[in-house]
């Protein structure tokens, strides 16, 4: 049985750890995540990044990190005229049927250029092998 768990985070420049977190509701598999967001990229070279992770701190600048689930980046390239632009991000990440246990925590981390404000929405797609009523809460 599948279910989707939503997450939201808002961030400003620099590294922001554990902006939001959710607990895995049941044993099963994390099969994918949809990441969307926007950022006010008003200067050349500005970026906004999001990391979905099992770790409570980010792995943006780490090698051999084992806690990362997915990462996505939006940035502004050099343009002829100065002015504000909004960076849009929308990506579906298919995962290799990643096994998860009930109670494991999943975090959103952010990294952005100074002065960049960003909003992120994440939909975690789970597959649980259950013989009972839906776990979805409405």
Give 38-88 pLDDT, tens digit per residue: 998 877 788 899 999 999 999 988 888 889 999 999 887 656 555 656 678
| Full-model pTM | 0.86
Q: Is the pLDDT of residue 29 over 70?
A: yes
DSSP 128: -
Q: What is the DSSP string of 61-126?
A: T-SS-SSEEEEEEEE----SS---EEEEEEEEEEEEEEEE-TT-EEEEEEEE-TT--EEEEEEEEE
CA distances (Å), origin 19, targets 65, 104, 120: 19, 16, 10
**Among positive and negative, which fits the CA dihedral 32, 28, 53, 135?**
positive
Q: Which domains, from first to last, does the chain contain?
A: 2-127 (2.60.120)
Q: What is the DSSP letter of 44?
A: T
């Amino acid at each position: 049985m599948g279910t989707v768990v939503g997450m939201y985070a808002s961030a400003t420049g620099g590294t922001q750890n554990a902006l939001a977190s959710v607990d895995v509701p049941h044993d099963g598999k994390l099969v994918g995540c949809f990441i969307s967001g926007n950022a006010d990229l008003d200067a050349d070279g500005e970026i906004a990044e999001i990391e979905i992770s099992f770790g409570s701190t980010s792995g943006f600048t780490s090698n051999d990190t084992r806690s990362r689930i997915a990462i996505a980046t939006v940035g502004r390239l050099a343009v002829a005229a100065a002015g504000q632009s909004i960076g849009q991000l929308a990506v579906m990440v298919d995962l290799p049927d990643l096994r998860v246990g009930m109670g494991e925590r999943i975090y959103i981390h952010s990294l952005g250029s100074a002065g960049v404000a960003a909003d992120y929405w994440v939909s975690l797609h789970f597959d649980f092998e259950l013989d009972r009523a839906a776990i979805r809460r409405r």
